[in-house]
Structure formats: C-alpha cells, structure tokens
Amino acid sequence: MQRSLNYAAMPAIGVPLPFLLTAPCFVLGAALLLAWHGELALVSRWTPLTLAMTHLLTLGFLSMTIVGALYQLLPVVAGVAIPLAGPAAALSWCGLVLGTLLLSGALGFGLAPAYFHAAAGVLGLAGLVILSAVGAALSRKVAPAAAPLVQGVRLAAASLAVTIGLGGSLALYLAGAGVLDAVTMTDVHAFWGLVGWVVALTATVSFQVIPMFQGTSTYPRLLETWLPPALFGLLFAWSAARLAGAAGWRAAVEAGVALVLLAYAAVTLGSFRKRKRKPDVGTWYWVLAMACLVLAVLVHYLPLDSDTRALLAGMLLMLGFAMSAINGMLYKIVPFLVWYHLQCDPALPRERLPQLKTIVNEERALRQWRWHAVALALSLGAPLAPAILARPAGLFLAFAILLLIRDLGGAALLYLRLRRP
C-alpha cells in the first residue's frame, strides 16, 4: 500500500523544532559526566551518576525527540490535528527540559528531597500534557492507511503513562515518602520505558518512514499490526511475573520479547538487502540501529553478571538502537523542515532559497555516523574495562553529539537568517 503524507496539516516549524534542537544537548551533558567521572560512572547501574546519565539520555534525548516528532508526525501521517498544538508543545518542552534537569540533578548530585518532589511534579505534569495532546488527536477519525501507526502510538503512549507513574513513585520514595521494593519497581519502570515506549514507538514510526524514505518494500501487515500489541501484552505478563517472583514465567516472556524484536530487526535488515537502491547515510543509521537491537537481545543471554548485562543491554537499546535511528531521522527531518518552511514563504525571493541537500550535506551526516559508531563501540566496551574505556567513551560521545548539534543548529540558524527581513 502506498504511504502518503498530508502536509496540509503540517504544524508551524516552531512546534517540533525546539524539541529536536534541544535534545542533543542532554546527550552532551551525559557524555561530559562520563568523560569527567570516568569509571566511577559505570561501577554499577545503581550509582547516582549512572542514574543521572540514564535519565539525561532517556528523558532529555529519547523522549524529547520522540515527543517533538509526534507533534510533527501525527498531523502529517495520520491526518489528525493536535488541538492547541503550539501551547501544548511549548508546555511539554518546558516540562521535559526542567523535569530532566531536576531529576538528573537530584539523582546525580544527591540533592534534597524537595528536588525529587519538584521533578516528580514537573515531569508528571509534562506527561499529562503530552498524553492529553496525543490522546485528543488519536481519539479522532484517522486515515485508514494510518491505522497501524495510530494503534502503535496509542500503546506506546500507554507505556509512557505506566513509566511516568512508576518513575514518579520511585522519585517520591527517594525523597523519603513511603516504602516500596525499589529494585523491582526500577526494573519494571525501565522495561516499560525502554521496550514499551522507546523501542515500540521507534518501530511503529519505522514502519512508515523506512519504506517511504529508504525506498524499501512495505513491512508485512502482520508485523506492522501485531508488533505493538504483542510487546504491550508481553510487558504486562513480564511485569506480573517480576512482581510475583515467578522466574520461569519471566524467562519465558523474555524469550517472547526477544523473538518479536529479532523478527522486526530481521525483516528490516532483509528489506534493505532486497532493495535495489544504493544505500545512503540514513540506511547506515538504520542498519546500526538494527544491529544493536539484535545485540541487546543476545547480550541478555550472555553469561555475565546481571549488573554488567543490564548496563550493556541498556546502552545497546539507548545509544545503539534508539539514538542511531533518531540521529539518522534528525538528519532528514530538520533540514527538510527548514527547506519546506522557507519554500512556503512567498516573500522570499527564489534565488535566496537554498537547495535541500546543501542545508546539511550528506558528508556531514556520514561523519557524524562514523564518530557515533566509534563512540558506541567504546561505550559498549566501557562496562567491561571501565578504567581504560569510560573516559574515551565519554569524550567520543561528546564529540559525536557536538557534530550533530553543529549540523542541526546550522540549519536552524540558516532558517532564522533567511527569514530575517
């Protein structure tokens, strides 16, 4: 089936762009923490620094870009307008920025309980705004071709609600309010956040954007329709098994999640292999993302201690799968938004308008991919040899993300310069 876009409903550039431009700055923060503190940041996944870096990546980068992309994607692909998109986006952005800084600061530097209270409140409100905006849009009638996308977004949004609820409870617990089994709840919180929100949503979006922008065949309808609900059901089953301490059931459900993710990666890599078109840098970002998804599944079955295994699997999902896919999409979306909104301005003389490929040329994106790949390799080695690799991993990660900030920031500055009267 042909995928088509409805740009008539495209929001103003000021709706998605702040999310997409701010997000990489949080990766820079996490990378500098790793470079500064070195192996201390990787002693275990429970150290304050590790928890701070994790939330800089998951909230500051992954959630920030995903939410910005949803404000852009839902009207365009599903043909559903988000009510009050401008104010809702501004509130979501403020909440995510402030909440990420408060929570990462409170976790990393052991700040007073008031900071945990504030972080839980601000992030809870941001989540409420995001879920209300997305929910209001998804409650409307959508184009039939967009039904799998909408279903996937609904389930991912439900996972986000679970993640925020559990995260808020944990933040209040850390502030000294109430008693709970923090280890179990953190596991459940992380699993819903990473698999139910980040992986499920990235996969749902990829069902639309990979065939469209990479020229591959469309995904099998079975995978497209059933991957999000299958993951959602498995997450429920896994949470129940984890809370009940049923190790056998938990292992069986984990095998189910592994099979679903491996099937998705295999179909995606197979569609790239079958494609006749020459690969571009966007292809390399997706291939890296899929390779990391496969490795994250395999690492889960390696005979390592549970802490190292969790660190490696988390890094593979956050830095390897999601960040690779998102970086590749940012190199497509941001220059396109700049070019498109400049083209829409009849007051701009045509000779002043840049060509799309000159806004951020492919060479720059390829350079970022190479540095990102090296940073990723060092980061994956760091939990195994932290004394040697932790600081270089942080430095390479910082440099790779600085390249992305420079390229995206350059595109935004070009837009502002050309729009100036």
Per CB under 8 A, 362 contacts another protein: no
| Stretch (H or E) spanning 164 | helix 147-174
Among positions 176, 245, 248, 346, the unique one binding another protein when judged by CB under 8 A: 346
C-alpha span between 388 and 38 (Å, rounded): 9
Site stretch for another protein (CB under 8 A), options 35-43, 168-176, 218-226, 343-351: 343-351
Per CB under 8 A, 212 contacts another protein: yes
If the CB atoms of residues 251 and 344 are measured against another protein, the closer one turns out to be 344
Report in angstroms how near the CB of residue 276 gets to another protein at its nearest. Answer: 11
Per CB under 8 A, 183 contacts another protein: no
Residue 268 CB contacts under 8 Å (≥ 6 apart), including other chains:
206, 210, 219, 286, 290
Site stretch for another protein (CB under 8 A), options 173-181, 245-253, 339-347, 359-367: 339-347
- What is the DSSP secondary-structure string of 193-235? IIIIIIIHHHHHHHHHHHHHHH-PPPPPHHHHHHHHHHHHHHH
Query: For 275-385, where are the alpha helices, taking DSSP H only?
Result: 281-299, 306-315, 323-343, 356-359, 362-381
Q: What is the dihedral of CA 71, 73, 77, 78, to 10 degrees?
A: -40
Per CB under 8 A, 409 contacts another protein: no
Per CB under 8 A, 3 contacts another protein: yes
List binders of another protein among 268-287 (CB under 8 A): 277
C-alpha 121: how far from its chain's center? 22
Among positions 141, 144, 306, 355, the unique one binding another protein when judged by CB under 8 A: 355
* DSSP classification of residue 321: I
Per CB under 8 A, 10 contacts another protein: yes
If the CB atoms of residues 306 and 355 are measured against another protein, the closer one turns out to be 355
- What is the DSSP secondary-structure string of 179-191? ---HHHHHHHHHH
Per CB under 8 A, 145 contacts another protein: no
The sign of the torsion formed by the CA atoms of 58, 61, 64, 69 equals negative
Report in angstroms how near the CB of residue 214 gets to another protein at its nearest. Answer: 8
Per CB under 8 A, 12 contacts another protein: no
Report in angstroms how near the CB of residue 216 gets to another protein at its nearest. Answer: 10
Among positions 46, 345, 384, 387, the unique one binding another protein when judged by CB under 8 A: 345
Question: How many chain residues interact with another protein (CB under 8 A)?
Answer: 23
Per CB under 8 A, 215 contacts another protein: yes
Other CB atoms within 10 A of residue 176 CB: 9
Report in angstroms how near the CB of residue 4 gets to another protein at its nearest. Answer: 5
Residue 314 CB contacts under 8 Å (≥ 6 apart), including other chains:
45, 54, 190, 194
Binding region for another protein (CB under 8 A) = 2-8, 10, 212-215, 277, 336, 339-340, 343-346, 350, 355-356
